[in-house]
Amino acid sequence: MPLHLKNLLTASELAQARTLLLAADAPWTDGRRSAGDQAVQVKHNQQLAQDSDSAATLRALVLGALQRDALLFSAALPRKIFNPLFNRYGGDANHYGAHVDGAVLHSRATGEWVRTDLSCTVFLSHPDEYDGGELLVHDHCGPQRVKLPAGDAVLYPGTRVHEVLPVTRGVRIASFLWIESMVRSDEQRRLLFDMDMALLALRQRESESAEATRLTGVYHNLLRMWANT
C-alpha cells in the first residue's frame, strides 16, 4: 500500500516551490527527453530543466524536507536519494500512461547510480486546482488512486507499474524522486516499519518497559542483519 506522508513541506517551503514552478519563465522541457525506451511511448508531460537555477533551489528544498521526515526515514531507511525532479501536467502534455521506472538510474546532479527501491511523489498543486491527474499505483490489491493535498507526499515500492491519469482542467505540478534503501527487500523493510511503528505506539501509551527495550534490541539486530550502508 502507498504510504501517505502528511505535510512533508512546510507552508513556506510549499509557497516558495510554487512561486518558482508557476513563474511564467520557469524552464519547462518535454518530459520525453528523459524517458527510457518503454516509458517514452506513454510519457506526455513536462519536466523542469535540471541545469536551471530554479531546479537547484528546488532540489535542495525538497531534499531538506525528506531528510527531516521521521516517518519517511522509518519506512524507507534511505541510503541514497536520487535528486528530486519536477514535472507539470496540463494542456496537451497532461498524462503519463502505465509504465515501470528503470531499476537503476544515473543522477546527473550527483554523478552516482541509484537503485530505485522506492518512488516518491510530492504534490505541489492543491487538489481543487485541477481535475484528473491521479497517480495510479498498481499493486496486488488492484490500482490505488492517489491525489493528495499540496505539500503532502506518497511513498510506494519502485517495483510497481504506475501511471498519471490525464489532467482535464488546470495544471498539476509535483516533485518526484527515488530512494535506494539500506534494506533492499520490500518485505523486510515492511516488517521493520511495522515493528518501529508498534514500538512508537507502545512508548506513547506507557513509559519505557523492559520488554520495549528488548523489542527495540530485536529491531536493531534485524536492521543490522539486513542493512547495507
Residue closer to Ni ion, measured from CB, 117 or 196: 117
Separation CA 57–CA 179 (nearest Å): 20
Return the amino acid letter for 25: D
Separation CA 88–CA 46 (nearest Å): 5
Shortest distance, CB of residue 176 to Ni ion, whole angstroms? Answer: 7
User: Does residue 117 belong to the site contacting Ni ion (CB under 5 A)?
Assistant: no
Separation CA 146–CA 152 (nearest Å): 11
Stretch that binds Ni ion, among 11-19, 22-30, 52-60, 99-107 (CB under 5 A): 99-107
Total residues belonging to the chain: 229
Stretch that binds Ni ion, among 22-30, 78-86, 100-108, 147-155 (CB under 5 A): 100-108
User: Does residue 196 belong to the site contacting Ni ion (CB under 5 A)?
Assistant: no
Q: What angle do CA 213, 215, 216 make, to 5 degrees?
A: 65
Among 31, 72, 95, 101, binds Ni ion (CB under 5 A): 101
- Closest alpha carbon to 50 in 104, 87, 100: 87
Residue closer to Ni ion, measured from CB, 31 or 90: 31
Shortest distance, CB of residue 207 to Ni ion, whole angstroms? Answer: 44
Residues that bind Ni ion (CB under 5 A): 101
